[in-house]
Amino acid sequence: MRNVIKSVAVAIGCLTVFCFSSLAQDDLGKQLSKVAEQNAINYIAPFLSGLGADLNSGFYHSADLHNILGFDVGVKLSAALTVDEDKVFDLVLPDQIVYSGFTLRAGIDYDKVITGSPTALGETTGREVKVKSTSGFFPLRGQTIFTTPQGFNLKGVPLIVPQASVGLPLGIEVIGRFIPTVTIPPSSFGEPVGKVNFIGFGLRHDIDQYIPLCPIDIAVHFMTQKLTISDNNDNKILSGSGTAYGVEVSKGLALLTLYGGFQLEKSSWDVEPYKFSDLSTGTTVQVNGFSVEGKNKSRFHAGVRLLLLLINVHADYSFASQPVITAGVGITLR
């Protein structure tokens, strides 16, 4: 969980520092600020969408709900799988850039759209933006204006969350997920990244109790969650939420339980306004706050659980726009 949150913070930072990897000038930041918001969204959206898909995963490993005061405590590890289309995007540059005292024009002196620029999930090497060899500014031909942001070359977006559930009367089960506000460990530069807080609440209800002689277990569920990242002064940087509701079925076979279901869901993320200043050049890029919606709207999922006395181990796969693999381990008392 800590490594994932650290990656989020670093990824957001990359959105602002990409234009300073070479000879940035005072006016360059002002020009890039005009297109920074859409580029920022396109860069970070696949990463945040993956986290949203993770949030909406791993709620159950059986449709057989706990008896009154029966409980389940465990840890869930989810990983939204990366597809090739989420690894690149088209980075758009402003119509003109003042560089080394020259006013460069898009399409004439440099490419306006940089295709194949890596998203946060993409390659660890950014694309160099150079002055065209046909530019009328001879001294600048071939020079690199800046390099697009690099990615983290992620095959999946992982998230680890603790979860507990307890059975109540009338075939109801309560689910809770919670991480108190904690400080993210210092980065390699010795500076704390910030703080993170996570909370989730859900309900499940036994449906097969209303169906006489039902050969399988059936239940429905609802879950809502929120994750917040703040800086060390408690100023919010990023906040995300996930909501899901669906139906699940399972069938116990000795030590094994086969389970699956269908779920409707949504996730969204809000990135607060921020800016970055390069002290060596005096360049500043301002990015307005923006929101990102998760790609997944529904999913089918199927999995298997192994129950050994009080220990359960389970794994499932979600078939969705952004597939998710989830595994978990915990203690179960029916």
Structure confidence by residue, pLDDT tens digits, 138-170: 888 988 887 888 888 889 999 999 999 999 999
- Region of poorest pLDDT, from 138-142, 188-192, 253-257: 188-192
Whether residue 250 has pLDDT greater than 60: yes
pLDDT at 279 over 70: no
What pLDDT score does 24 carry?
33
What are 293-307's pLDDT values in tens digits? 999 999 999 999 999
pLDDT for 23: 28
> Which pLDDT does position 288 carry in this prediction?
79
Query: What integer best gives the mean pLDDT of the chain?
Result: 84
Task: Give pLDDT, residue 218.
Answer: 97
Q: How much is the pLDDT for 207?
A: 97
Mean pLDDT of the 285-300 span = 88
CATH topology of domain 2-333: Lipocalin (2.40.128)
pLDDT-based confidence at residue 12 (cuts at 50, 70, 90): very low
pLDDT at 189: 43
pLDDT at 309 over 50: yes
- Are the CB atoms for 62 and 217 separated by under 8 Å? yes
The answer to whether the beta carbons of residues 114 and 148 sit under 8 Å apart is yes
Rounded Cα distance between 325 and 330, Å, is 17
Distance CA 208, CA 215 (A): 9
DSSP 134-194: T-S-GGGTT-EEEEPPP----SEEEEEEEEEEEEEGGGEEEEEEEEEEEEEEE-TTS-EEE
Domain extent listing, the chain: 2-333
pLDDT on residue 13: 44
- Low-confidence winner among 78-87, 183-192, 287-296 (lowest mean pLDDT): 183-192
CB 9 within 8 A of CB 192: no
